[in-house]
């Protein structure tokens, strides 16, 4: 009932907007933390606000006006350097964004984790991960998809419970968590197993958006522009790596207002480049489906984002030091000679702690990055080394 009620509220909000086609509001420094714009609280200029397609930039008073025609249910802000706060709200005619100042961001550390696959059996592993996050001391955590055990092949109640469990777990972390969508977050698309109708209101990415908000977004930290890319798409019963045309247009609009010298770091689940997948055969699997699917008239590997060149085109001449992803459950890195971008997949938080695949030993864990003055100065893979109680 709660899920249906929330969906009804979002639908009503979207209907209201469809009639007005406009959103106004203020992005401001919430000095007293009450979430309300007080007369003495200053607006924040130059902040990008979006409906996941169009963007607007706040004026000197922090005010914006966004003509929205997208069908997405949220309006979101690209969190500016030096501030933190909730970055999205349901669409309405007026949406304000109260943000709080953070500590100096010139030097910071963050964790790239992935494939938590939260379920009851992985809760002890999540507890171990939290302990390590606290002991290492970082400013935020990025989790690149496959957040929950599975939504692909199960009913609404089971999938919803996994989502609720993931939210409970990340709320226990003492630092902000930025999540991105993985293939296991797509609700019900393997209809032969889930028995979910494609007409279900939460079908596909609807459930992710319901629990976690926008499936792609951006934020700024320490002078770096981080972009959560939704690199998972689907056709019929199968997911594949791809970025749709609406998101590509949003990415172009989002980066349009970014200074040319600002570095861009992307993070998504299915990788743009993956050395590990070169060891896999292309045989069809009875349960998991084909390895190759046709995209734009060509057969493409469904576990790689097939149209990365379209993403790269939007990034253009911005420095692009890191492309972070998961999916393979093993830490690995690839780089094209003469190009600065490091394509890095971290390992998985999920079980098992260690296994062997194609002659390589896989370790559960995550990667810690250190950034100084806008430069990534170190990255260290850190095994989870989980010991059963």
d(CA 185, CA 202): 11
What global pTM score does this model have? 0.94
pLDDT at position 9, please?
Answer: 44
Structure tokens at 72: 């997405």
Condensed to tens digits (0 to 9), the pLDDT of residues 191-240 reads 999 999 999 999 999 999 999 999 999 999 999 999 999 999 999 999 99
d(CA 180, CA 115): 11
Superfamily of domain 107-383: Metallo-dependent phosphatases (3.60.21.10)
Closest CA to 81 of 140, 145, 25: 140
Q: Return the domain boundaries, the chain.
A: 2-101, 107-383
pLDDT at position 272, please?
Answer: 98
For residue 92, pLDDT beyond 70: yes
Instruction: Classify residue 80 by its DSSP letter.
Output: P
For residue 97, pLDDT beyond 80: yes
Percent of the chain with pLDDT over 90: 87
Condensed to tens digits (0 to 9), the pLDDT of residues 310-367 reads 999 999 999 999 999 999 999 999 999 999 999 999 999 999 999 998 888 999 999 9
CB 360 within 8 A of CB 379: no
Closest CA to 240 of 228, 253, 230: 230
Burial of 371 (0-12, 13-18, 19+ CB in 10 A): buried
Percent of the chain with pLDDT over 70: 94
Element (H, E) at 45: none
CA 14 to chain centre: 23
Element (H, E) at 99: strand 97-101
Domain at 2-101: CATH architecture: Sandwich (2.60)
For residue 3, pLDDT beyond 90: no
Q: Which residues face 241 on adjacent strands?
A: 232
For residue 384, pLDDT beyond 90: yes
CB 353 within 8 A of CB 333: no
Confidence at 7, pLDDT banded by 50, 70, 90: low
């Amino acid at each position: 009932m709660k899920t249906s009620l929330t969906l009804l509220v979002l639908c009503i909000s979207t209907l209201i907007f469809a009639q007005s086609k406009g959103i106004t509001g203020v992005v401001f420094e919430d000095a007293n933390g009450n979430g309300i714009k007080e007369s003495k609280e200053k607006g924040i200029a130059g902040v990008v606000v979006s409906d996941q397609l169009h963007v607007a930039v706040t004026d000197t008073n922090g005010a914006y006006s966004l003509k929205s025609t997208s069908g997405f249910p949220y309006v979101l802000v690209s969190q500016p350097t030096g501030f933190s706060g909730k970055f999205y709200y349901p669409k309405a005619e007026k949406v304000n964004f109260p943000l709080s100042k953070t500590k100096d961001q010139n030097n910071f550390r963050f964790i790239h984790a992935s494939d938590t696959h939260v379920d009851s059996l992985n809760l002890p592993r999540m507890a171990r991960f939290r302990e390590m996050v606290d002991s290492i001391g970082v400013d935020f955590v990025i989790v690149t998809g496959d957040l929950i055990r599975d939504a692909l092949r199960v009913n609404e109640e089971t999938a919803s419970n996994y989502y609720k469990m993931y939210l409970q777990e990340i709320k226990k972390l003492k630092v902000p968590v930025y999540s991105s969508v993985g293939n296991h977050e797509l609700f019900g698309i393997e209809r032969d197993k889930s028995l979910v109708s494609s007409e279900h209101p939460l079908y596909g990415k609807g459930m992710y958006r319901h629990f976690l908000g926008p499936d792609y977004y951006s934020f700024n930290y320490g002078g770096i522009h981080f972009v959560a890319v939704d690199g998972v798409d689907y056709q019929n019963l199968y997911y594949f790596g791809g970025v749709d045309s609406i998101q590509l247009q949003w990415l172009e609009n989002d980066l349009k207002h970014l200074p040319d010298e600002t570095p861009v770091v992307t993070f998504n689940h299915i990788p743009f480049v993956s050395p590990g997948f070169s060891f896999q055969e292309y045989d069809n699997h009875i349960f998991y489906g084909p390895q190759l699917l046709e995209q734009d008239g060509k057969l493409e590997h469904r576990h790689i984002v097939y149209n990365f060149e379209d993403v790269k085109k939007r990034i253009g001449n911005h420095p692009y030091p890191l492309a972070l992803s998961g999916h393979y459950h093993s830490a690995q890195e690839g780089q094209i000679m003469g190009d600065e971008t490091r394509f890095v997949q971290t390992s998985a938080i999920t079980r098992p702690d260690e296994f062997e695949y194609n002659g390589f030993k896989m370790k559960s864990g995550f990667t810690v990055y250190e950034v100084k003055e806008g430069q990534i100065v170190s990255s260290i893979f850190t095994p989870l080394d989980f010991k059963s109680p």
